[in-house]
Amino acid sequence: MFVLKVGGAGLFTVVMTTAVYYYCTLPLTGFPEPGKVTTIVMFVQFQRFMGRIYEFLGFGTSLDYRRKAGRKRRPPVDDPTLLVTDTAFDGVKVRVYQPRGQGQVKDGAGLVFMHGGGWILPSVDFFDHVTRHIAKSTGAVVGSVDFWLAPEHMFPIPFIEDCLNATKYFLSHAGEFGVDPGRVGVAGDSTGGNLAAAVALKLTQESSTNVCPLKLQALVYPALQHFDFQTDSSVDKL
């Protein structure tokens, strides 16, 4: 009789190899850089696969696993080019990035950033490298909103109580950060793009002049509608 003994490390290797092989052979075609797309799909699918195993073994929910897997330690605060502060805007947790060496700037630009993650993931820590880069490359003061996540905190809490209130606070206290309130914008990717657009729309509706007080919106692949996934931006026409 042939008996194959596989230890924990060996089993993990077999599972990993099988999963990688399966996802590497997905028929992804029609993309300018299929290798990068395949890598992203592999990562996402593997996280879902491991999440199901995590839940099956009774360690918690699949969402618990994905949050733990995507969690990053807070990067070091010390940065010769940025002053990074964890604070609160009207009770909302926000990480503020202020470029150093600008002297007594009174009319700088400001940006309120809202991260992506499908409303359920992850945190300002995960997007720290993005918000740091924005602050360094633009010279703007960036406030990254650490809004509450679903399903524990359902709509409209992340929108109204967190992102909207944080943006209003930043607009009304812009001078404290050396920012001109007329040079404040909102930005976000995916879910964050949805929240940023919603904030801009709400501020326009609340304005007595029906004019949005924000200078700009920077929306990166925003989730703007869920009624029809046959739009040009959703359909692969290649």
Which sequence spans correspond to the domains of the chain? 8-69, 82-220
Residue ranges in the chain modelled with pLDDT below 70: 1-11, 16, 18-31, 69-78, 101-105, 229, 233-238
Contact 178, 135 (CB under 8 A): no
pLDDT value at residue 31: 66
56 token code pair: 């099956």
> Which phi-psi region, left, alpha or beta, contains residue 113 (left: φ > 0; alpha: ψ -120 to 50)?
beta
Whole-number pLDDT of residue 209: 80
For the whole model, what pTM was predicted? Answer: 0.78
Distance of CA 127 to the CA centre of its chain: 6
**pLDDT tens digits, 128-138:** 999 999 999 99
Q: How many helices (H) and strands (E) are present in the chain, helices listed first?
A: 6, 6
Q: How far is CA 140 from CA 96, 116, 131, 221, 229, in A?
A: 11, 20, 10, 22, 35
Please give the pLDDT value at position 49: 80
Amino acid letter for position 173: H
Give the per-residue pLDDT at 57. 86
Q: What local confidence, expressed as pLDDT, does residue 2 receive?
A: 47
pLDDT at residue 237, rounded to an integer: 42
CATH of 82-220, one of 3.40.50.1820, 3.40.50.2300, 3.30.43.10, 3.40.50.360: 3.40.50.1820
Return the pLDDT at 192: 94
pLDDT at residue number 238? 37
